[in-house]
């Protein structure tokens, strides 16, 4: 079976992020790294392929300046190849614009993948809407928040995380599935994997080569506009419970209130 | 001139930092306290191919150079797990076997050393021949199709966890100079006539130090490594990688110390501001940082020279000197920055002092490096 994984290359979260003062969009110049939340999708893809008789794991990424820093990490982990879409026209793309690009990238694959995996949301944007939009554009079913994924008889069985526990969901293939962080333990690349990554094929595309028009993507195509940005409210000091023999009751009440219990 | 690492070196750094960071200094401290070895970390590094990055790919290695091995060494130490055995097993012993071993010696030793399953120690130092290898007294006698070793070796690291030891022994004397003709032997730690005794030292590290007694230690013809009588020249091929790994471990310890010190000085507030805002705290840390980065720069240059087949002796010596001094300064200042906490076990600094301090003395002492630089770099008269 073949699995495609959407991987986002993001500015290193270790460094403070900057917003463009005119567009309020994240400054993405410079070195980009593999979004940690996508390393789970890559690992899941590798495991699914290994468990189902082999196949290919193809990475799909949209990034400025033909950036490959994050793709290299995922290729070193064991992915077979990558499709990288890079074009100045993509600057300012919203979630839907990104989904259009990724859908076009999926369609360049021959054969089409059996599954497209993605993280539930990216670590730099957090919209969490791109994967389901991608599924809609492809006309495929989507299952989100997967905490366990298994292929069985041409269908995919997913344990879908919910507030109360999880739902068992079965879906026909092909499908788009988003995986939660922690669904699997991402492997560290081996040194052989690192050296092999250098020779793996990366198909580079632009907006035009994917057959998209300039007004569908980037700032021109965006249906969403960030009109203003405000600093997040500073965290308040929290509530201190003094134990006078009854602290447990207060703590249980608090946990019930936030629906942990 | 391009100082940037290759994409592969960046990935290597990231992967090793990830693996070692997963274990961290508390793991290392706990193992040391129990008198145990950091086997899990060593095995995981071996399984990922990281202990053999510099070995030929035909023998299970990564096919790259010493530059890559220094990255591994430094990253592991920077995560608070300085592995002194890396100086010995992969850096000297595996390098010597890869360079001078027969096909069967390479086949026997390199794949398991690359995967971390086999370890080797290196025995050159003797009670009466420290840095003067010409006075080595351990003798190998060739008779009746076998070798017999006699002698004592001192301060040999990691013998208790090694499968074998490369022993430097005298196999003859130069007529003209009366200097020893040396040869190298691969001696199994289970060989007859091989005995190791632990030397108690005040270093909190999992690697222990040993005296080795060789008394009619019997070896086969094929236990000779390289050419008989060429031992000293061959050893020099392994000494530069060893110095570079020493420098890499020092740089790693320095980075670890400065990272802890910066974090502490940023958050610790005694009066109305973090202590790091005071120049009395900030400037010494800045000085330590500058010296550390200079040492790392020389380390990169030395590793690059070695891999490019250039004479790396001067740069390797300078890197080793600079790194040992920089790490001691960084660690000392990190301890000072932490006040009383600097000596507390849970802050994980003071226990590294022994290892950082050892690297001023070993694998080549500060004074021998200064001799080298005085003589070779400055052209001053020889002092010994």
Average pLDDT on B296-316 reads 96
The answer as to whether B383 is a domain residue is no
Q: Please write the tens of the pLDDT for every residue from B246-281.
A: 999 999 999 999 999 999 999 999 989 999 999 999
ipTM score for this prediction: 0.90
Looking at residue B383, its pLDDT comes to 81
Whole-structure pTM value: 0.91
Cβ-contact B295, B326 below 8 angstroms = yes
Picking from A107, A126, A130, the residue whose alpha carbon sits closest to that of residue A117 is: A130
Q: Are residues B77 and B103 in the same domain?
A: yes
CATH number for B15: 1.10.540.10
Q: Are residues B21 and B45 in the same domain?
A: yes
The answer as to whether B135 is a domain residue is yes
Q: In angstroms, rounded to a whole number, what is the distance separating the alpha carbons of residues A177 and A180?
A: 10
Q: Are residues B179 and B302 in the same domain?
A: no
Q: In angstroms, rounded to a whole number, what is the distance separating the alpha carbons of residues A124 and A27?
A: 11
Distance from CA of B8 to the nearest CA of A (A): 6
CATH number for B210: 2.40.110.10
With an 8 Å Cβ cutoff, are A195 and B64 in contact?
Answer: yes
Looking at residue A83, its pLDDT comes to 98
Q: Are residues B115 and B129 in the same domain?
A: no
Average pLDDT on B146-168 reads 97
Residues in chain A closer than 8 A to B20 (CB atoms): none
The answer as to whether B1 is a domain residue is no
What count of other Cβ atoms lies within 10 Å of the Cβ of residue A229?
9
Q: Are residues B175 and B310 in the same domain?
A: no
Q: Are residues B54 and B137 in the same domain?
A: no
Q: Please write the tens of the pLDDT for every residue from A102-152.
A: 999 999 999 999 999 999 999 888 888 999 999 999 999 999 999 999 998
Interface of B with A in 351-380 (CB under 8 A): none
- Is residue B40 less than 8 Å (CB to CB) from chain A? no
The answer as to whether B73 is a domain residue is yes
- The answer to whether residue B216 scores a pLDDT higher than 80 is yes
Residues in chain B closer than 8 A to A192 (CB atoms): 49, 62
Interface of A with B in 39-98 (CB under 8 A): 68-69, 72-73, 76
Q: In angstroms, rounded to a whole number, what is the distance separating the alpha carbons of residues A160 and A169?
A: 7
Cβ-contact B205, B184 below 8 angstroms = no
Domain boundary among B229, B246, B275: B229
Q: In angstroms, rounded to a whole number, what is the distance separating the alpha carbons of residues B272 and A25?
A: 36
Q: Are residues B62 and B153 in the same domain?
A: no
Average pLDDT on A167-192 reads 95
Cβ-contact B95, B138 below 8 angstroms = no
Kindly compute the dihedral angle of the four CA atoms of residues A87, A89, A94, A99, in this order, to the nearest 10 degrees.
-50
**Total number of domains constituting chain B:** 3
The answer as to whether B11 is a domain residue is yes
Residues in chain A closer than 8 A to B47 (CB atoms): 190
Q: In angstroms, rounded to a whole number, what is the distance separating the alpha carbons of residues B242 and B214?
A: 24
Buried b (16+ CB within 10 A) or exposed e, B163-173: bbbbbbbbbee
Residue B241 exposure: Cα atoms within 13 Å on the Cβ side: 30
Distance from CA of B15 to the nearest CA of A (A): 6
The answer as to whether B339 is a domain residue is yes
Distance from CA of B12 to the nearest CA of A (A): 7
Domain boundary among B94, B119, B144: B119
The answer as to whether B382 is a domain residue is no
Residue from A66, A188, A197, A200 whose CB has the most chain B CBs within 10 Å, to mutate: A188
- B5 three-state secondary structure: coil
Cβ-contact B355, B84 below 8 angstroms = yes
With an 8 Å Cβ cutoff, are A192 and B50 in contact?
Answer: no
> In this prediction, what percent of chain B has a pLDDT beyond 90?
91
Residues in chain A closer than 8 A to B15 (CB atoms): 76, 188-191, 194
Average pLDDT on B321-348 reads 98
Looking at residue B334, its pLDDT comes to 98
- The answer to whether residue B41 scores a pLDDT higher than 80 is yes
Q: Are residues B198 and B282 in the same domain?
A: no
Chain B residue at shortest CA distance from A77: B15
Q: Are residues B248 and B373 in the same domain?
A: yes
Q: If pLDDT is split at 50, 70 and 90, which confidence band does B1 have? A: confident
CATH number for B361: 1.20.140.10
Q: In angstroms, rounded to a whole number, what is the distance separating the alpha carbons of residues B196 and B159?
A: 7
The 3-class secondary structure across chain A, one letter per residue, is: CCEEEECCEEECCCCCCCECCCCCCECCCCCEEECHHHHHHHHHHHHHHHHCCCCCEEEEEECHHHCCHHHHHHHHHCCCEEEEECCHHHCCCCHHHHHHHHHHHHHCCCCCCCEEEEECCCCCCCCCCHHHHHHHHHCCCEEEEEEEEEEECCEEEEEEECCCCEEEEEEECCEEEEECCCCCCCCCCCHHHHHHHCCCCEEEECCCCCCCCHHHCHHHHCCCCCCCCCCCCCCCCCCCCCCCCCHHHHHHHHHHHCCCC
With an 8 Å Cβ cutoff, are B49 and A192 in contact?
Answer: yes
Chain B residue at shortest CA distance from A190: B48
Contacts of B113 by beta carbon, 8 Å cutoff, 6+ apart: B51, B52, B55, B89, B90, B93, B94, B97, B119, B120
Looking at residue A233, its pLDDT comes to 86
The answer as to whether B384 is a domain residue is no
- Is residue B48 less than 8 Å (CB to CB) from chain A? yes
Average pLDDT on B191-212 reads 96
Poorest-pLDDT segment among A112-126, A162-176, A232-246, B315-329: A232-246
Q: Which domain holds residue B296?
A: 233-377
- Is residue A191 less than 8 Å (CB to CB) from chain B? yes
Q: Are residues B115 and B245 in the same domain?
A: no
Q: Which CATH architecture has domain A2-221?
A: 3-Layer(aba) Sandwich (3.40)
Q: Are residues B86 and B149 in the same domain?
A: no
Contacts of A153 by beta carbon, 8 Å cutoff, 6+ apart: none
Q: What sign does the dihedral B97-B101-B103-B105 (CA atoms) show?
A: negative
Residues in chain A closer than 8 A to B53 (CB atoms): 191
Q: Please write the tens of the pLDDT for every residue from A72-90.
A: 999 999 999 999 999 999 9
- B117 three-state secondary structure: coil
Q: Are residues B274 and B214 in the same domain?
A: no
Domain boundary among B119, B136, B160: B119
Chain A residue at shortest CA distance from B51: A191
User: Cis omega (within 30 of 0) on the bond before B177?
Assistant: no
Q: Which of B7, B64, B68 sits opposite A72 (nearest CB)?
A: B7
Q: If pLDDT is split at 50, 70 and 90, which confidence band does A225 have? A: confident
Q: If pLDDT is split at 50, 70 and 90, which confidence band does B238 have? A: confident
Question: Residue B103 class from Cβ within 10 Å (0-12 exposed, 13-18 middle, 19+ buried)?
Answer: exposed
Average pLDDT on B358-368 reads 95
Distance from CA of A177 to the nearest CA of B (A): 27
């Amino acid at each position: 079976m073949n699995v495609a994984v959407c991987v986002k290359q993001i500015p290193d979260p270790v460094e403070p992020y900057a917003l463009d003062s005119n567009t309020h969009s994240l400054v993405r110049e410079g070195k980009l790294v593999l979004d940690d939340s996508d390393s789970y999708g890559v690992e899941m893809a590798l495991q699914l392929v290994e468990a189902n008789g082999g196949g290919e794991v193809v990475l799909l990424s949209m990034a400025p300046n033909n950036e490959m820093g994050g793709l290299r990490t995922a290729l070193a982990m064991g992915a077979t190849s990558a499709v990288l879409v890079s074009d100045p026209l993509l600057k300012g793309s919203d979630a839907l614009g990104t989904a259009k690009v990724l859908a076009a990238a999926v369609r360049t694959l021959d054969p089409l993948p059996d599954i497209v995996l993605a993280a539930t949301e990216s670590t730099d944007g957090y919209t969490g809407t791109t994967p389901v939009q991608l599924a809609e554009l492809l006309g495929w079913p989507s299952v989100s928040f997967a905490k366990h994924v298994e292929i069985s008889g041409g269908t995919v069985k997913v344990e879908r995380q919910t507030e109360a526990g999880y739902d068992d969901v079965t879906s026909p293939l092909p499908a788009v599935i988003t995986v939660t962080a922690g669904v699997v333990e991402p492997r560290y690349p081996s040194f052989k994997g690192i050296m092999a990554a250098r020779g793996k094929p990366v198909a580079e595309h632009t907006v035009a080569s994917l057959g998209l028009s300039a007004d569908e993507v980037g700032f021109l195509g965006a249906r969403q506009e960030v009109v203003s940005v405000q600093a997040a409210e500073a965290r308040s000091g929290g509530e201190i419970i003094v134990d006078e023999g009854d602290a447990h009751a207060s703590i249980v009440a608090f946990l019930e209130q936030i629906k942990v219990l | 001139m391009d100082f940037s690492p290759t994409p592969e070196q960046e990935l290597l750094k990231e992967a090793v930092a990830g693996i070692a960071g997963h274990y961290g200094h508390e793991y290392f401290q706990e193992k040391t306290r129990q008198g145990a070895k950091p086997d899990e970390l060593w095995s995981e590094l071996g399984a990922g191919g990281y202990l053999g990055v510099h070995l030929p790919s035909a023998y299970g290695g990564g096919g790259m150079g010493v530059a890559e091995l220094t990255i591994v060494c430094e990253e592991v130490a920077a995560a608070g797990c300085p592995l002194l055995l890396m100086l010995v097993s992969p850096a000297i012993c595996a390098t010597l076997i890869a360079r001078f071993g027969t096909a069967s010696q390479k086949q026997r030793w390199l794949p398991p050393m690359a995967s971390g399953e086999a370890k080797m120690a290196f025995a050159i130092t003797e009670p009466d021949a420290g840095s003067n290898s010409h006075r080595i007294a351990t003798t190998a006698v060739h008779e009746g199709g076998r070798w017999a070793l006699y002698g004592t070796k001192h301060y040999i690291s990691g013998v208790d966890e090694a499968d074998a030891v490369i022993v430097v022994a005298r196999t003859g004397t130069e007529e003209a100079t009366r200097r020893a003709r040396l040869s190298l032997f691969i001696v199994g730690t289970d060989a007859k006539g091989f005995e190791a005794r632990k030397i108690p030292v005040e270093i909190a590290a999992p690697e222990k130090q040993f005296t080795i007694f060789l008394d009619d230690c019997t070896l086969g013809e094929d236990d000779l490594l390289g050419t008989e009588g060429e031992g000293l020249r061959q050893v020099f091929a392994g000494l530069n990688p060893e110095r570079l790994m020493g420098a890499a471990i020092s740089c790693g310890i320095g980075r670890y110390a400065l990272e802890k010190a910066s974090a502490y000085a940023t958050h610790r507030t005694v009066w109305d501001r973090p202590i790091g805002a005071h120049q009395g705290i900030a400037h010494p840390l800045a000085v330590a940082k500058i010296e550390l980065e200079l040492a790392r720069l020389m380390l990169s240059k030395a590793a690059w020279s070695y891999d490019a087949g250039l004479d790396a002796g001067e740069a390797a010596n300078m890197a080793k000197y600079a790194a040992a001094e920089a790490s001691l300064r960084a660690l000392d200042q990190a301890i000072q920055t932490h006040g009383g906490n600097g000596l507390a076990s849970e802050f994980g600094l003071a226990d590294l002092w022994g290892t950082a301090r050892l690297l001023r003395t070993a694998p080549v002492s500060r004074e021998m490096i200064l001799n080298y630089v005085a003589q070779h770099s400055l052209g001053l008269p020889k002092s010994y």
